Structure formats: C-alpha cells, structure tokens
Structure 1
Amino acid sequence: MNSEVKGHKERVAAAAPDGCYAWFILLSCFLVFGLTFGVIKAFGVFYVEIHRYFETTATGTSWITSIAVATIHVVAPVASALSARFSHRSVVITGGLICSIGVVLGAFARNLIELYLTVGFLNGFGCALTWTPTVTMLGLYFEKRRPVANALASAGECILTFVLTPLFQLLIDSYSWRGALLILGGLQLNLCVCGILLRPLNTTRDVTCEVKAEEEGLSLELLPKDDSEQRKQGCLEAEAEAEAEELRISERCDQGKIKACHEDPEDISIMKVQDSNNKTKRAELRTKILRYVDFTLITNARFMVYSMFGVFAALGFFAPALFLVPYARSKGIEEYQSAALISISAALDLFGRVFFGWVANLRLVQMVQQLTATVFLLGTVLLLCPLASSFSELAAFSAAYGLVYGATVAIHITVLAEVVGVHRLGSALGFFMLIRSTGGLLGPPIAGLFIDKMSDYGTGFLMAGVALIVSALFLLLLHQMNRRVQGSTTTNCDMHTDKMEQSPRAETKELDMT
C-alpha cells in the first residue's frame, strides 16, 4: 500500500449466498435450537421430580435451569472467539460432547450442588459452544431470507419442546429422573452431527478504508445493504483516528524540535524506525484482537441499549416455561395434562415464529417496532396468567403465551444484526449474550423467591410480566435513537448533494468571468 494513503484492512463477510447449502446450515441450526433451549424449556418436567426427591425449595431447584441459562450467555463471547480462532465446526462438535457428558454425570448426582455443576454449568457451557457459532453461520449463509431463516431455525426449539415434554414424562415414569437424564445425554450427542454440517463459508475478502475517497478503492455497493451505513461509519472513524494520531505525533515533534536539532541524524533515523515498528506491532495486536472479539461494540450506544433490553427480557423469558408445569400441578391438574400445557405452548410458539418471521420479511413495519409490540403483548399475557385455574383456562394461556413468545423470539436476532451490521454479528451475539446473562441467571431464582414467600406459583408469572414490559421501554428508546441516526444521515446526504450541485455552477461562473 502506498505510504501516502492511510487506511486499515478488515476481514468482512461477503454477500451471503442464499444458496443450496444454506438450507443444510438451517437444518443444523434447527436441531441445535431444539437440543439446547428446547431441552431447557422442557426441563420443567424434571423440576417437579427433582424438587420432590431432594425435598428442597422452589428457589433451590430453579438454580439448575438458571445456572445453565446464565452459562450459555456468559460463555457466548468465548464461543465466538474460539470459532474465529479454530472453526465453527470444531467448536460445535466439542460443545456437543460437553453437553452430553454434563447431563450423563448429572444422572449420578447425590445432591443439588452436583446438579448445579453438571446439568447446570457443564450442560450450559456445551450449549454455548454449539448455539453461538451455529447462529452466526446462519447469519452469514443467508441475506435476503435472513428473517425467515432465523424464524425457521428457532422453530426447532418449539418442535423439540413439543416432542420432548411428554417424552420426558414417559421416561421419568418408566426409568425415574436419573434414567431419563441418561437417555437425554445420549440424545444430545446429535449436537456433534450438527457441527459436522457446518461447512466453512470461504467468501471473505480484505477491505481497505482509505482516507481519500479517490484512493480508497472500496465500493460500498459490494457490501450488503444492511452494512453500507456501518461500513461508511467505520471508514469515517478510521479517518478520524488517523488524523488524531498525526496531530499527536506533530505535537510531540514540535515539543522536541530544539532537542532534536542537536542530536545525531543517525540517532534520529533509528528512533523513527523504532517508533514505526512499535506502531506496526500495536496495529497488528489490535487487528488480531478485533478478529476474535470486537470489543469496540461497548462504545456503540444503540447496541448497549439493545443489550439492556436483553437483560430485562431474560428475566421474564425463562421463568414461565420452568414454572408452568408446577403451577398446573398446584391447581390439581394431573401429570400428563400438565405436561401437555408445555406442548400446547410449543405448538403455538412454532406457528408464531414462522408466521411473524414471514411478516418481518415483508418489511411492512420496522423490525424494532414489531419487536416492541410483541414484547408488550408477552408481558401482558404473563400478568394475566394467575387468573387461570382450570385446564381449559391454562390451555388458553399456554396458547397465547406460545404465540406471542414465538413472535418475539423470531426476530430479536435479526434486530441485533440490523443494529450492528451482519459483519459484526459474531462478536455482537457473544457480547449480547454475555450482558444478557444477568437476567438469565437471576430470572428463575427471583421468581422462585416470590413463590416461596407467597406460596403461590402465580407470583412468578407476575414478576416475569413486569420484567418484559420494562424491557419493551428500552426498545422504544432504541427506536427513537434509530430515527435520529436516520435523520442525521439524510441531512448529511442532502448537504453533500447540495455541494455537488453547487460546484459545477461555481466552475461555470469562473469560466464566464474568464
């Protein structure tokens, strides 16, 4: 590169192919969703048996699920970094093995602490290594159909929850909860098969953001439409950093000018070479770190607001599925009918994900607006849950909850891609999950604490509903920030157009005067 041209190189994903093999990636992601979050949602059947076996509190038993959920979130950035360092395929295969080992060891647990470490921590760690790289690959393989692809992939969570909930109840009745965990451990070995399906996408290229538009050699038309504004902003930030660095160097040179005049020219040249080498090493280190973990995301205000939405949403996402079966049992509903409530919820969850994912793909409204509406509805439905007491009423609640939950989950990853750009989705997904881990960890225990204090499982649903409505407020803030960004972008484009129109007129006027 010419020394007069200042820039930086960054590896970004080329335009997503939307090709034939993308559907195999979708199949892999479908199964990963089912064998991770689908299993967590169906774990409410185990909750009742473990609660009875160890004669513990609702809070104590709920820590198993909350530790698994929190571990998935906390380890997500590690999974992203490992995928960049090695490969998505190897990380997912390793995660599948860890999942299986954790659940199998949990079958031999002698107390709740051992269940926390095995079914909670080890299983959650393995789920993070499988879920994060697979979802990232799905985002790279799809562009035009990305909302529908995310919705279809997440439908695996619904279908496997629908199938696994009665299956777990049958296995528990036949082999006890320990035998059922052994069979579940064998089932989760299929995560390794999902990893084998992840063929690397070899369509990355070097992009150079130059200071001068004539010399940068970068056509934003080559980038996906979602990323063009992000790439322009990245170039402007790189230019500003380069100018600031030049200013600092200039000031240091001015301060040491008198001293430098009395120094040997050879010493000055050696110092210049050493300074250049240090700059090169720092630039290489920064590039290497950004390749694995894009820590600059924490300076993105819109990303941080969306992450706060994730924290409060996680407080309410996981508690209802865990406590729905115990709540039904406390109302006198028999075992298989209680388990059927989860299946009803999963069936409507599936419909909600596919249908509202298709609606999102039509782009009738902004994605953030659609997500805000569904989150508000989800919180309202949970607040109404304690009014249900009979099986028919609980079935209606389960159907409404599953439908709105599916509509919410179908697009929240797509919204994240719009906030940061698909080229940063891997790191963004890892950081988003890490920040959201607080809500995933504390949600079920806080709900369990309310249940223990009030001796009523309905209070857990009230807590979840309030948390989701609070999370929707952050989405409203994000929508306002998006409008400001779009307004400022439009203003800058108009000013640039005016300048371009005025310059030919000025040239013509000068020629006339001549």
Structure 2
Amino acid sequence: LGANVLALRFTCRKVVFIGGVLSGLGFILSTFVEHFDLLYLTFAVITGLGYALSYSPCVVMVGLHFKKRRSLANGISVSGSGVGSFVVPNLIRWLLNLYGLPGCLLILGGLTLNVSVCALLIRPLSSYKKRQPELRYTELGVTKDAGFQQLLNTQICESLSGNNGQASRKESLSKNFSEFSSNELIPMASLQNIPQEELKDLTSSVCDCCKCCDRQKSSTNRSHKKTQKLFDWSLMSNPLFIIYALSCGFGNFAYPNVFLMLPAHAENNGQDRNTAALLVSIIGITDLIGRLFFGWFSDLKLMPRLLNRCSVMATFPALVTYAALYGLFAGSYMALISVMLADVLGVEKLSSAYGLVMLVMSVGLLPGPLICGQRTARYYWHWNYSFVLCGVLALIGSIPPLFEPCAKQYVDAREAKKINVKAVTKSLV
C-alpha cells in the first residue's frame, strides 16, 4: 500500500531502488546476528520492507506500459517468482551445506542487491513518446543563419504547442510560420535580406511569448501536482474492488502456505528432504508455465478472464500430481490479479487498487503459518486438516468474482445517476 503511494510521490525507480537496497541489507545484516530475536528485525522487518517496496510498483509499471498484451506482459514479469521457486530451494540447500547459514544469507543478500540495478532500468512512459521531426532549413531554401535559425527553431513551436488549452495560438503560430515558409508569398531571398536588428526584435518577441507560455504551463503543472491524489480512497466504496479484494485475501491464505506445508507433509509420509524440496521445485516450474500460458491465453479473449482465474482450485492426493497442477493453476491466479483490476477499475486506478489488494493479501498471509504450521498440525490436528482449511478458504475466495456482473450493473447505474444529477443541476443554474 505504502509502496505505490511513495512511487507516485517519488517515482517508481527511486522506490524500487531503495527497496532493493533494504532487502539486500536485511540479508547481509542477518549474517552477523547471533540471537534469534534480532532476526525479526533484520530478516523479517528490513528484508520484508525492501521486498514490499520493490514488488508492487514494478507490477503497476507493467500494467501502465502495456495495453494490448497486458496479460502476457504481466505474466512474464511475475514469472520470475516461478523461476525462483524452481531454483532457489535447491540453491539454498546447497549453500547451507557448503557455507552454513551466515554464508548462505550473505550470498542471497548480494543477489538481492541486483534489484537496485534493475531499478535503474525503469523508464517513464514519456521516454517512449515519438519526437516531432525537426524543421530542415534546406527544405525552405535558406541558409542556416544564426538569427533566422533562432526564429524558426522548432523548440519555439514545441514550447507553444505544449501548452494545454492554447490550440488557437498553436494554429496561428503554424499559420504564421507556413506563411514565412511559403515560396508563393515571400521569396526566400527576402527573408535572408531582413536587417539583423529587426530580426532580433522579431525573435525576442517570439521568445517572450514562449517564456510566457512556459511560465503558464509550469504553474499549471505545479497546481496539478498539488491537487493530484496520491491514493484513491473511493475504491473502498466500490463493489467491484471489494469483490476482488475479498477474493485475493482468501486466496492468498492458501497460495503461499502450500509451499510451507507440502515439504513437511512429504517428510511425515516417509520422503527424504531432497525429495520434499523437489516438490517445491515442481510447483515453481509449473507455476512459471501457468503464468506465461494463462497470460498469453487471456490476451486472446477466447473466454472471460474471470473463468481463467476461478480454475485455481485443483486438488489431487498424489504429491507430485498435486504440486504440478497446483503450481500450474496458481500461476494463472497470480498472473491475472493486476490485469483484472485494470480491466474492472481502469488503469488510472491500478496503483491504488493494487496497493490495497496487496494489503488485504498480506492480512490473509499473516495467520497462515501460525494456523497451518508444523507445530499446530502436530499438537492440534493432522496435516490433512491444514490442506482442507486452505482448500476451503481458497474455494471461498473463488466465489466473490462470480458476482462481478451484478456489481458492475450497480456501479454503472450509480455513475449514470450521478451524471443525471449533475446535468439537472447545471441546467437549473
């Protein structure tokens, strides 16, 4: 939630960069900790804060940069966690056996610092805009004289045309310059024969006009920044947002806890640790396939994205089959969250909506390890009940999106009513 607000205030690049530094710093500081209680500060708080600042703004940036292939782009961007789930468990086990816990944390901290390097590659949307072609003086048949160059400098045109609400000035300026550049009205030789003093006066008048427009434009931008909302709290009263927030909250209780429960459940059934870690790797690789496939399939629009998302619930008793199918369909769940929010609420509200959804998902994540952990399963119930609980909550999370059509009709009717009230009020005034 706070990461998206900070990204709007300080740009995504700065927030993600700081997040990468904090997450790497948390790992590195954990190597020097001798008491377990301090790990709550270094590993949990600092590293967790760094991950929170890094993840959410990156997902929002992908949603803002892409439109036609947004689902596929988002699937590719979040597929890194699938690769991590496939590679990291075996890597961590190998590092622990080779360097111990301090060395393992130090290496992981160095790898995590690369997030800050990737943050430097984040570019705003404005950097991808096409630049206007510069005016060529040779096409006008004139020499590149210093005074005449200043008069026909394309920066003057861009400065004037960039001022919103000044279309008439833009048209008149283009008309004036077209008259100057027309061979029928003014011979090119006459332009070159204009006295330098008169040319300087004419140039200074145009530049003064540009400065005036620039001041007005800068003041407008400053006022826009002051009035721009850093967070859209109206989402809290939007039924469409509430539906998906509840769905993600219940679904996120089940999704990450399976990574914690499945290896321990396999060990309790006689499997060795390497086999148990392999199950997590199977979830990771199928999760990667699911995110990429369902992201691509969703962009084809052969069926509603809502139906793709509700297919998350697939459970089988065999551990390997369960891991493969769970990772495959969970990949569609994670890949389409931000895409669904952009489709339902609009791209302009994606940052606030995704931040709030991450907040709700973290609330669903918090009690999971305490309720479904090994100690609870050992003393209060069997491991099977933990899986049943996750399955039931995930099923509950798949129910709210089914009411999206009703909520959309309600929101559309409410917006139409507001428009009618404004129209009546305006007519009375």
If the length of structure 2 is used for normalisation, what is the TM-score? 0.70
Give a deviation string over 1:125-144, Cα, whole Å, max 9, x none: 00111111111111111110
3-state DSSP of counterpart to 2:125: coil
Distance 1:155 1:181, change over 3 A: same
Give a deviation string over 1:312-369, Cα, whole Å, max 9, x none: 1121111101222222222221222211111111111111111111111111222223
Structure 2 residue 356 is matched with structure 1 residue 431 = yes
* Paired letter, 1:165: P
Structure 2 residue 271 is matched with structure 1 residue 330 = no
What does 1:334-353 align with in structure 2 at a 5 Å threshold? Answer: 334-353=272-291
Q: Work out whether residues 88 and 133 of structure 1, in 8 Å CA contact, stay in contact via their aligned partners in 2.
A: yes
Q: Distance in 1 between matches of 2:230 and 2:269?
A: 50
Find the structure with the greater CA-based Rg. 2
| Post-superposition offset of 1:146 | 0.2
Q: How many percent identity over aligned positions?
A: 34
What does 1:503-514 align with in structure 2 at a 5 Å threshold? Answer: none
| Post-superposition offset of 1:434 | 1.6
| Post-superposition offset of 1:459 | 2.8
Which of residues 25, 32, 36 in structure 2 aligns to 1:108?
32
| Post-superposition offset of 1:454 | 3.5
Structure 2 residue 406 is matched with structure 1 residue 480 = yes
The list of structure 1 runs, each at least 4 consecutive aligned residues, that deviate by more than 6 angstroms after superposition, is 284-287, 486-493
Structure 2 residue 303 is matched with structure 1 residue 365 = yes
Q: Work out whether residues 71 and 295 of structure 2, in 8 Å CA contact, stay in contact via their aligned partners in 1.
A: yes
Structure 2 residue 407 is matched with structure 1 residue 469 = no
Q: Distance in 2 between matches of 1:447 and 1:484?
A: 38
* Paired letter, 2:103: G
Give a deviation string over 1:149-178, Cα, whole Å, max 9, x none: 011111111112211111111111112233
Question: How large is the RMSD of aligned CA atoms in angstroms?
Answer: 2.9
Q: Work out whether residues 96 and 130 of structure 1, in 8 Å CA contact, stay in contact via their aligned partners in 2.
A: yes
Counterpart in 1 of 2:60?
136
Give a deviation string over 1:75-98, Cα, whole Å, max 9, x none: xx2111211111211111110010
Q: Distance in 2 between matches of 1:490 and 1:289?
A: 25
| Post-superposition offset of 1:417 | 1.1
Give a deviation string over 1:232-273, Cα, whole Å, max 9, x none: xxxxxxxxxxxxxxxxxxxxxxxxxxxxxxxxxxxxxxxxxx
* Paired letter, 1:156: G
* Paired letter, 2:343: E
Q: Distance in 2 between matches of 1:288 and 1:295?
A: 17
Q: Distance in 2 between matches of 1:139 and 1:96?
A: 21
Q: Work out whether residues 315 and 444 of structure 1, in 8 Å CA contact, stay in contact via their aligned partners in 2.
A: no
Q: Distance in 2 between matches of 1:304 and 1:187?
A: 37
* Paired letter, 2:389: M
Counterpart in 1 of 2:369?
444
| Post-superposition offset of 1:436 | 2.5
Q: Work out whether residues 238 and 411 of structure 2, in 8 Å CA contact, stay in contact via their aligned partners in 1.
A: no
Counterpart in 2 of 1:149?
73
Q: Work out whether residues 369 and 479 of structure 1, in 8 Å CA contact, stay in contact via their aligned partners in 2.
A: no
Distance 1:295 1:487, change over 3 A: closer
Counterpart in 2 of 1:421?
346
Counterpart in 2 of 1:166?
90
| Post-superposition offset of 1:487 | 8.6
| Post-superposition offset of 1:453 | 2.9
Instruction: Return 5+ residue gaps in structure 1 as ranges.
Output: 1-76, 206-216, 218-283, 388-392, 496-514
Q: Distance in 2 between matches of 1:462 and 1:314?
A: 15
Distance 1:310 1:112, change over 3 A: farther
Distance 1:82 1:485, change over 3 A: closer
Q: Distance in 2 between matches of 1:106 and 1:315?
A: 27
Distance 1:368 1:480, change over 3 A: farther
Q: Distance in 2 between matches of 1:450 and 1:466?
A: 18
Q: Distance in 1 between matches of 2:35 and 2:227?
A: 41
Q: Work out whether residues 102 and 123 of structure 1, in 8 Å CA contact, stay in contact via their aligned partners in 2.
A: yes
Q: Work out whether residues 147 and 357 of structure 1, in 8 Å CA contact, stay in contact via their aligned partners in 2.
A: yes
Give a deviation string over 1:364-422, Cα, whole Å, max 9, x none: 222223212x23x24xx1xx4xx4xxxxx321211111111112212122111112101
* Paired letter, 1:349: D
| Post-superposition offset of 1:299 | 2.0
Aligned pair count reads 329
Q: Distance in 1 between matches of 2:15 and 2:396?
A: 35
* Paired letter, 1:480: C
If the length of structure 1 is used for normalisation, what is the TM-score? 0.59
Q: Does 455-464 or 402-411 show the bigger shift?
A: 455-464
| Post-superposition offset of 1:484 | 5.4
* Paired letter, 1:173: N
Q: Does 479-488 or 332-341 show the bigger shift?
A: 479-488
* Paired letter, 1:151: G
| Post-superposition offset of 1:114 | 2.1
Distance 1:290 1:134, change over 3 A: same
Q: Work out whether residues 319 and 461 of structure 1, in 8 Å CA contact, stay in contact via their aligned partners in 2.
A: no
